[in-house]
Amino acid sequence: MSPDGSLSAERLQELRRMAIRLRRHVVESVHHAGAGHLGGPMSAAEILVALYFEVMHVDPAAPRAPGRDRFILSKGHSSIGLYAALALRGYFPEEELQTFDALDSRLQGHPDMAVLPGIDMSSGSLGQGLSPGIGMALAARLQQQTYHTWVLIGDGDSQEGQIWEAAFIAARYGLGNLTCILDWNDLQQWGWATAAGYDSDERLPPQESPVARWQAFGWCTIEVDGHDLEQLVAACARARATTAAPTIIIARTVKGKGISYMEGDYSWHSRPVTEEDLRVARAELAAQEEAL
Amino acid sequence: MANLSVSDSLVAQRDVFGNTLVELIDSDPRTYVLDADLANSTKADIVARKRPDHFLEMGIAEQNMMGVAAGMASCGLVPWLSSFAVFLVNRDLDQLRVVVAQPKLNVKIGSAYTGILTGMTGKTHQEVSDIAIMRAMPNLTVLAPADGIETRLAMLAAQDWEGPVYIRLTRDPHPSIFGADHNFEIGKAYIVREGSDVTIMSTGVQTVRALQAADVLAAEGISAHVLHVPSIKPIDTAAIIAAAQKTGRVVTAEDHTIVGGLGGAIAEILGEHAPTLMRRVGIRDVYGESAPNAELLEKYGLTPAHVALAARQLLD
C-alpha cells in the first residue's frame, strides 16, 4: 500500500477482479454446503479484498508471525467471505473452500482460530470481536510491536452492548493502532417490520446514525462507500496513520451486493442456493468481470 | 502429608492473590492484571500500587474485559482477571466460552468472593454455582485451594499451565492447613487426615471445616478419612475411588450448591466406578442472603457440625 493509499488503475482493476472472484467462491461454497450465510459476506467483499490484498501486513506462509497485522471478523457468520479471501491470498488451496461446513473441516460455520491458521480470533457470538482487538492493540503497545489491528463489525453485530463497552475502553486507552470497520449494510437476520408488517420484505435498518454515535465515544470516523476499493484503501491508510485515537471506517454497503436477487433482501442473510440461483449468480458475476 | 490439623493463623486468600500476582509479574513479565473496578476488594490493588506498568483497569465492563484478555493471550501475554465471582462467572460466561475456552487461550481467572461468605453483600454477590458452571465448560481447568499456602501454589501452577484456568477464592481470613512443604499439583487430591470409618471429601476453604468435623467425630470415637480435592478439573479419579473404597461411606463438603459441584463430580465418578453411599453437605439448592459469616454457615448447613452429622447418618 502506498502511504496515502492511492492505487494505480491497473491495481484497482486487479482488486475489483478479486472481489468478483471472492463473491463467486461465496456463492459456490454455500451452494455446495447446502446452506450458509450470503448477504453479509457479499456486503463485506470489497472490505475483505482491500484488507487482505492491499492494506494488511501479512504473509500467508507465516500466518502466526508475531509482527503481522491482526484481523478479527466480529460478524463471524460472514466466515465464508473471510475463508474466500484467505484462500485467494494463498493461505490454503481454493479447492478447500468446498469443505466449508463439512465434518472435520478447518472451515467451520464460524471462524475457529484453534483449527485454521490465518484466523487471529475465534468469533461467531455477535458483539464480541472488538474486545479481543483491544487486547491485541494493547499487546502491541506493551510489547513494542508496530503491527495494526483491524476489526470488522456489522450494524446488527453492534446492537450487542459489548461493542459499546469496547468502544469506550479503546478510546480511553487511545488505541491509535486499532481500526474498526463497520459493514453498514442496513439489514440483519429478521429485524423490525416497517408499517407494511412482517409479511412484507421491508425491514427497518438495524441502527441509524452510527457516525454520531462513534464520534460521541471518542473515535475518529471516516465515511466511505464500502464497495469502492479506492475509498476503502485510502481510508485504511488514513486510519493506520492516525495514532492518537482509534479510528472507525464507516462503510456504506448493500447486503447481498453483486447478485441482483440478493441485494437488499433480508431473507438472503442465510439460505440454501439452488441450481438456478447458482446459474444466475455465475452469469451475473461473469458479466461484471467482462465489464471491467 | 496425612493428618494435618487446622492452625490458629488466619490468612485471607485475597491477600495472597494480590501478593502472588506481584510475584508472578516479577518472575514472568508476560503477566498482566486486568481489573473490573474491584481491585481494592480483590486485592489486585497490590499490583496497581507496586507494578502499575502491569495493571490495566478495564472499568465496570466484564464482557469486554474477558475479550481483551483473549486478545492479549493470543499475542503471547498471560492476562489474569480480577473481579467478583458472580460477575466473572455469569456476566461474561459467553465471552469465556467463545473467545477463551473454545480456542484454549491462556487466560487466568482469579475469581474472588466465591461461595456464601462475601462480606454482608447478600445473594446478588454470593456465587454458589461456579464449580458446577465452570467444570461443565470444556477446556477449562478449575481449582479451589484451601488456604493461603495452597492459593499461592495453585496460582504458580496456573501460570505454568498452558490454557485457561479458573481459581476459586474466598474473601475472609480462614485458618491455614498446609505447610510450606505442600506439593501442589493440578489434577491431584490430597489425603489430609487418615481414617477408617467414613470418608469426607471437601474442596476450597470448606476443607478447613471438614478437618474440624473430623476432630468432632474423633472425640466420639469415629475415625474420619479426609480427602481434599482442590483440583475440580482435571479431577483425581483414582484418589477419589481409593478414598471411597477405604471406608465405603462418603460425605462431600463444599461452600457451594449441592447441585453439580464437588458432590456432583464425586457422585459421577463413584456412580460409574465404585457405587458408594453418599451424603452431600452444601447449600441446598437455594440462594443466600446477607448476614454475618457464622450465622450464614449455620443457617445454610456448612458448619463442621453439619458435616459431622452427615457422617453419623451414614454410619447409622
DSSP per-residue string spanning A28-48: HHHHHHS--B-HHHHHTHHHH
The confidence score (pLDDT) of residue B36 equals 98
Q: Tell me the average pLDDT across A34-58.
A: 97
> Is B67 close to A125, i.e. CB distance below 8 A?
no
Question: Which chain A residue has its CA at the smallest distance from B68's CA?
Answer: A135
Q: Tell me the average pLDDT across A136-156.
A: 98
C-alpha cell of residue A85 = 479471501
Check whether residue B171 and residue B32 sit in a common domain: yes
Q: In what order do the strands lie in the sheet with B277-283?
A: B190-193, B224-228, B198-202, B249-257, B277-283
Check whether residue B106 and residue B137 sit in a common domain: yes
Chain A residues touching B58 at Cβ < 8 A: 169
Extended strands (E) in B5-73: 10-11, 31-35, 55-57
C-alpha cell of residue B168 = 476459586
| Domain boundaries, position B195 | 190-315
Whether residue A233 is predicted with pLDDT greater than 70 in this model: the reply is yes
Residues 6+ apart with CB under 8 A from A78: A37, A40, A41, A44, A152, A154, A183
Residues 6+ apart with CB under 8 A from B167: B108, B109, B110, B111, B143, B144, B145, B151, B154, B155, B158
ipTM attached to this prediction: 0.97
Is residue B149 very low, low, confident or very high in pLDDT (cuts 50, 70, 90)? Answer: very high
Cβ A55 vs Cβ A1: under 8 Å: yes
User: B5 lies in a domain?
Assistant: no
The confidence score (pLDDT) of residue A2 equals 83
Nearest to A237, CA basis, from A138, A229, A183: A229
Q: Tell me the average pLDDT across A114-118.
A: 97
Rounded CA gap, A163 and B40, in Å?
27
Chain B residues touching A143 at Cβ < 8 A: 75-77
Q: Tell me the average pLDDT across A26-55.
A: 97
Check whether residue B143 and residue B107 sit in a common domain: yes
Domain boundary among B118, B141, B175: B175
Rounded CA gap, A189 and A199, in Å?
15
Residue environment code for A205-214, b if the CB has 16+ CB neighbours within 10 A, otherwise e = ebbeebbebb
User: B181 lies in a domain?
Assistant: no
> Is B68 close to A139, i.e. CB distance below 8 A?
no
Q: Which of A120, A138, A161 sits opposite B68 (nearest CB)?
A: A138
Check whether residue B161 and residue B18 sit in a common domain: yes
Mean pLDDT of chain B: 97
Three-state SS annotation for A187-204: CCCCCCECCCCCCCCCEC
Question: Which chain B residue has its CA at the smallest distance from A129's CA?
Answer: B67
Is residue A1 very low, low, confident or very high in pLDDT (cuts 50, 70, 90)? Answer: confident
Per annotation, catalytic residue among B57, B62, B162, B295: B62
Check whether residue B59 and residue B170 sit in a common domain: yes
- Cα→Cα distances A31→A25, A28, A282, Å: 10, 5, 12
Please state the separation of Cα A112 from the chain's center in Å: 16
User: B209 lies in a domain?
Assistant: yes
> Is A139 close to B72, i.e. CB distance below 8 A?
yes
Check whether residue B149 and residue B29 sit in a common domain: yes
Check whether residue B119 and residue B217 sit in a common domain: no
Which of A68, A115, A131 is the mutation pick for testing B, counting most B CBs within 10 A?
A131
Residue B62 designated active-site = yes
Sign of CA dihedral A144, A147, A153, A157: negative
Cβ B174 vs Cβ B10: under 8 Å: yes
Domain boundary among B142, B175, B208: B175
Rounded CA gap, A238 and B214, in Å?
70
Give the gap in angstroms from C-alpha A136 to the nearest C-alpha of chain B. 5
pLDDT by residue (tens digit) across A87-113?
999 999 999 999 999 999 999 999 999
Give the gap in angstroms from C-alpha B21 to the nearest C-alpha of chain A. 18
Nearest to A153, CA basis, from A119, A110, A183: A183
* Residues of chain A numbered 46-75 and touching chain B (CB < 8 Å): 66
C-alpha cell of residue B73 = 493471550
Could you give phi then psi for residue A179, rounded to 5 degrees?
Answer: -130, 135
pLDDT by residue (tens digit) across A217-232?
999 999 999 999 999 9
> Is B95 close to A128, i.e. CB distance below 8 A?
yes
Check whether residue B79 and residue B160 sit in a common domain: yes
Extended strands (E) in B136-276: 141-143, 165-168, 174-175, 190-193, 198-202, 224-228, 231-233, 249-257
State the total domains in chain B.
Answer: 2
Q: Where are the alpha helices (DSSP H) in A149-223?
A: 161-172, 210-216
**3-class state of residue B246 by DSSP:** helix
User: B219 lies in a domain?
Assistant: yes
pLDDT by residue (tens digit) across B155-188?
999 999 999 999 999 999 999 999 999 999 999 9
Asked if A120 reaches chain B (Cβ–Cβ under 8 Å), the answer is yes
> Is A162 close to B64, i.e. CB distance below 8 A?
yes
User: Domain map of chain A by residue range?
Assistant: 9-291
Binding-site residues on chain B for chain A (CB distance < 8 A): 32, 56, 58-59, 61, 63-77, 79, 94-95, 97-99, 102-104
C-alpha cell of residue B206 = 470448606
Give the gap in angstroms from C-alpha A115 to the nearest C-alpha of chain B. 9
Cβ neighbours, 10 Å, residue B155: 25
Is residue B1 very low, low, confident or very high in pLDDT (cuts 50, 70, 90)? Answer: low
> Is B64 close to A131, i.e. CB distance below 8 A?
yes
Give percent of chain A above pLDDT 70.
100
Check whether residue B162 and residue B22 sit in a common domain: yes
- Residue at grid coordinates 492493540: A137
Q: Tell me the average pLDDT across B200-208.
A: 98
Cβ A175 vs Cβ A137: under 8 Å: yes
Check whether residue B154 and residue B205 sit in a common domain: no
Whether residue B2 is predicted with pLDDT greater than 80 in this model: the reply is no
pLDDT by residue (tens digit) across B53-79?
999 999 999 999 999 999 999 999 999
Q: Letter for the amino acid at B301?
A: G
CATH of domain A9-291: 3.40.50.970
Cβ neighbours, 10 Å, residue B109: 28
Check whether residue B198 and residue B110 sit in a common domain: no
Asked if A161 reaches chain B (Cβ–Cβ under 8 Å), the answer is yes
Rounded CA gap, A71 and B65, in Å?
19
pLDDT by residue (tens digit) across B209-268?
999 999 999 999 999 999 999 999 999 999 999 999 999 999 999 999 999 999 999 999
Domain boundary among B113, B143, B175: B175
Please state the separation of Cα A256 from the chain's center in Å: 13
Check whether residue B84 and residue B147 sit in a common domain: yes
Report the CATH number at residue B272: 3.40.50.920
Rounded CA gap, B177 and B211, in Å?
9
C-alpha cell of residue A86 = 484467505
Nearest to B147, CA basis, from B120, B118, B180: B180
Residues 6+ apart with CB under 8 A from B160: none
The confidence score (pLDDT) of residue B8 equals 86
Which of B60, B68, B77 is the mutation pick for testing A, counting most A CBs within 10 A?
B68
User: B4 lies in a domain?
Assistant: no
Q: Tell me the average pLDDT across B84-101.
A: 98
Nearest to B179, CA basis, from B192, B161, B160: B192
pLDDT by residue (tens digit) across B9-41?
999 999 999 999 999 999 999 999 999 999 999
User: B24 lies in a domain?
Assistant: yes
> Is B71 close to A121, i.e. CB distance below 8 A?
yes
Is residue A3 very low, low, confident or very high in pLDDT (cuts 50, 70, 90)? Answer: confident
Report the CATH number at residue B21: 3.40.50.970
